[in-house]
Amino acid sequence: MAKTIVVKQVGSPIRRPQVQRATLIGLGLNKMHKTRELEDTPSVRGMVRSIPHLVEIIEERDN
């Protein structure tokens, strides 16, 4: 029973540091308003926490 989170890209990577762009790509996001359902792990949470101005957590699910 894995927990998942739904993450949505709300900010543009234009004029952002390369590290932040790479974090978005690592999360599987590359276009505005795109959503991804990701496994809720500490590494994913850390990636989301490192770019809070570009993404938001829409939903947390218990599967």
Q: List the CATH number of the domain containing 35.
A: 3.30.1390.20
Domain that holds residue 14: 3-62
Listed as ranges, residues in the chain with pLDDT below 50 are none
Cα–Cα distances in angstroms (integers) from residue 31 to residues 9, 18, 20, 39, 58, in the given order: 7, 16, 14, 20, 16
Beta bridge partners of 62: 3
8-state DSSP, 62: E
pLDDT at res. 1: 66
Whole-number Å distance between alpha carbons of 38 and 4: 5
pLDDT at res. 63: 81
Please tell me the total count of domains within the chain.
1
pLDDT at res. 5: 97
Which tokens sit at 55? 């993404």
pLDDT at res. 44: 97
